Amino acid sequence: MISTAIRVARVGSPAELAAAALVMLGFPALMLAALLPSVGAFAAAAAVTYLADHYLHRRGSYLISLLGKLRAGLSIRFLLRQLLLVLLLARAGLSGEPVFYAAVACFLAFFALQAPHSALVTLIHKRRAMPVSTRNVDLGSRIRIPDAPPRGLVNRAAEKMLHLDLPAVAGLLVTAAADDAVYGLAGVAATLALAFLYVVALAPYVRGRRIPPKAGTVLAALSAWLREYRPETVLYFSGSKDSAYQVNMWLEAMEQLETRPLIILRERVILQNLAPTTVPVVCVPGGVHLMNMDLSTVRVTLYAANVGKNIHMLRVPTMKHVFIGHGDSDKVASVNPFSKVYDEVWTAGRAGRDRYAIADVGIRDEDIVEVGRPQLAPIQPGRVPSEDLRGEDPGERCPTILYAPTWEGWDDNPGNTSILLAGENIVKKLLAADPPVRVLYKPHPFTGTRSAKAGAAHRRITALVEKAAAERAADPRFRADTAAQARAKAELARIEARLAELTAPTSEKGDEAEATRDGAIDVVMHEEIARLRAEWNETYWRSSGPWQHRVITGAEPRLYDCFNVSDAMVSDISSVVSDFIASGKPYAVTDSAGVGAEEFKRQNTAVRAAVILSNSARELDALLAAVRDPGSDPLAAGRRELKRYLLGPDEPASIERFNAAVRLLAQKSEARNRGQQAEVRDRGQDNGARAAAAAEPTGAVPGQRTPPADERNDVVKG
């Protein structure tokens, strides 16, 4: 029941739901306390509503906006509490006292000050909004961008302003309890003074040198930088907050380009969630501003997603447009007919080309280029050597099996994920394997976001793995070097502290204008962060027994790191399977929809060298046998062939093929532009000849010329 309420209310935890319940129940309690009257009960209920309200705001809970839709917004809640306090004063016999009128006047004046306060905050945000936001672009030396107002003034400003009623509320409650007007009058004075000072403190930030230059000046500075930098290859991306991973996966490839790269984003939320990179980044929310950017030196633009805003870039004819996508799988999204708008579509291997041919969605074969997947470079073939993994027999190895199911998707197709029908069976069978194996469970981060059943299945699987991990830790058959693990955990703490220090905000103030000014990458720090993250990953796996089961739900360790420490994987139809094939290790895929092994392989290229699991998971024995005796693995040759088919050859490296494809397409773009320039010159000469002919005296014989194409067409039509 609680889980259902959490899902309906779209909250992240039972604590949020409890806080919302306290807010809603607190106000009837305030009314009852005011009517009795009971000052103590009123003070207690008021404290509960203040604290619960504050907690919800700190968590950024969806319930805050939901309360607003129910006509119980932030200002209404504060006003209602103040009105009930006035009722309490009246019921306590203070309605004829000066302090009562002071309280009424205070709350009226306090809410009158909300208008200029809200106007100033809105104006500050509006005037400091930049037409573009950048990272690794030197705009600060070209235009004057002042410091942002202190975060204490503008961050969650409405909530802070309303909480300034606390001195008045506290003072009036003390007055009601002690029958001494001094406390109430002092509280009223403090509230009005603080509110007035808050408004005064905001006023300087809406004019003069406290605001950034206007849009025209900022765009002119960006154009000047573009003319100097002369970008040649652009990665263009638009999407929601949750889609940032689609552009993040291409950052390393962009850093390795042989041409000058530039990343163009369309949403500020993507910029906020962009991973660190040394590539210059420009975020341009406005389509008009994008169309006025000087991108004349760009020859190739890469698109990681098919979205509507791509049209703003696709309209530029002086560059070639390429769809590179954000994964390689047999899902329908991999053969989107929208891909016809691009000059080329780049796929990992031959499989991508064949998918488009079979789908027959209008993509010409000559427009498809196989470039591999540069992102897969961190995936190492075979298992990474590490300390021995031992079970009961000292000479016996304890393999690691990764279970990485995808999420439930947007519909209830049983083939979307194995977690609903097969997940528990898979994990139970792996945990009961004899000889034993280690289980790593890393679900998709969206698991359970749409389906309550999927969320419940995930929690049951997590409980199974954690229980088995506790039992194995207490099992004397599995020896643990506790001293080494303690050292590794201490090292992990040191690395995490240093990473937190390097990645923490450098100031308590800041906004997008200030971030644009100070957004240059510190290359030395960037390299140190990358080194520390690699050290963290290596240390993480040493921090517990190499036979110990793990549930991995955070961003770290990354999926590819889990690939590298695993001997085999169980998953679903998704790009995870295609990526794992790069390792060459055995894998299994669940036919959750029950279409049958042969039909499942016919429909999904990536499973042709997999062990196909039914929902009972009884076929897992074949996967475990291949892990324990690689020499007798019947699917090993098939995996090698499938890897080449899906991802292309190992040599040359994917990033080399990627760079070669960029170079070749840039040459085509350059040739097209030269042809257009020649055509313009020819037309200009032709127009000049026409003018000369018109100026010749009557009876003169004009020089012969070949009419341009449009004139020839007119003659034919005539």
The ranges assigned to domains in the chain are: 2-130+141-210, 230-376, 400-480+545-647
Task: Provide the 8-state DSSP code for 589.
Answer: E
DSSP result, 363-380: --GGGEEE---GGGTTPP
| Predicted local distance difference test score (pLDDT) of residue 180 | 93
570 dihedral zone (left: phi>0; alpha: psi -120 to 50; beta)? beta
Tell me the backbone φ, ψ of residue 562, rounded to 5 degrees: -65, -40
* Residues sharing a CB contact under 8 Å with residue 689, sequence separation 6 or more, in sequence order: 703, 705
Closest CA to 218 of 286, 319, 120, 297: 286
- Residue located via tokens 């006035």: 86
* Residues sharing a CB contact under 8 Å with residue 561, sequence separation 6 or more, in sequence order: 378, 537
| Predicted local distance difference test score (pLDDT) of residue 303 | 97
| Predicted local distance difference test score (pLDDT) of residue 330 | 67
CA distance 597 to 599: 6
Reduced to 3 states (helix: H, G, I; strand: E, B; else coil), residue 691 is helix
Angle between helices 14-35 and 74-91 (to 10 degrees): 30
Reduced to 3 states (helix: H, G, I; strand: E, B; else coil), residue 74 is helix
Task: Provide the 8-state DSSP code for 339.
Answer: G
Q: Which fold has domain 230-376?
A: Rossmann fold (3.40.50)
| Predicted local distance difference test score (pLDDT) of residue 670 | 94
Q: Which fold has domain 400-480+545-647?
A: Rossmann fold (3.40.50)
The rounded radius of gyration (Å) of the Cα atoms in the chain is 33
> Hey, which bits of 508-605 come out as E strands?
550-551, 568-571, 587-590
Task: Provide the 8-state DSSP code for 142.
Answer: T
Structural tokens at position 243: 């889609």
- Residue located via tokens 């993480």: 540
Closest CA to 38 of 87, 100, 102, 105: 87
> Hey, which bits of 222-359 come out as E strands?
233-237, 261-265, 281-283, 300-303, 320-323, 344-347
Check the CA dihedral 354-359-365-368 and report its sign: negative
* Residues sharing a CB contact under 8 Å with residue 428, sequence separation 6 or more, in sequence order: 464, 617
Is it true that 230-376 and 400-480+545-647 share their CATH fold?
Answer: yes
Check the CA dihedral 549-551-557-560 and report its sign: positive
Reduced to 3 states (helix: H, G, I; strand: E, B; else coil), residue 300 is strand
Distances (CA, A) of 663 to 234, 280, 369: 13, 20, 13
CA distance 352 to 349: 6
| Predicted local distance difference test score (pLDDT) of residue 678 | 86
**Which amino acid is located at 390 in the chain?**
R
| Predicted local distance difference test score (pLDDT) of residue 694 | 54
pLDDT means over runs of 10, the chain (718 residues): 46 76 92 95 96 87 80 90 96 94 96 96 92 91 89 91 96 95 96 97 90 91 94 96 90 95 96 91 94 94 95 95 85 81 94 90 93 92 51 59 92 88 96 95 90 93 96 88 90 92 62 83 85 93 92 90 96 90 96 93 91 96 94 93 93 95 96 89 70 49 39 35
- Residue located via tokens 């930049």: 130
Q: How many residues does the chain have?
A: 718
Structural tokens at position 675: 């042809």
